[in-house]
Amino acid sequence: GCLLDGKLYPFGEIARTENCFRCSCSSHAMRCCSLFHTPVRYDKENCQVIFNKTSCDYDVVEKSDPSKECVVYSRI
């Protein structure tokens, strides 16, 4: 298998790791890509970014009221 962040994964395709990556594990290498997109354009003065491990995505919410979402103009 392959070791990632202290956890052993079996050979083959891994649809989702504990840290929100999709990976392919072989005897030669482990290749991974993220399942999330990082917000880059939003109101940084009034909003904050929080990683949501359940949805494997970032939530962008108001600093003063985290129950309210902020508009995100672009993600990478």
Give the domains, in start order, of the chain with CATH numbers: 2-34 (no CATH), 39-75 (2.20.25.590)
Average pLDDT over all residues of the chain: 95
pTM of the entire predicted model: 0.73
Residue-wise pLDDT tens digits, 50-70: 999 999 999 999 999 999 999
Rounded average pLDDT over 22-39: 95
CB 74 within 8 Å of CB 40 = yes
Looking at residue 67, what is its pLDDT? 96
Top-confidence residue, 61 or 18: 61
Structure token pair of residue 51: 């990683």
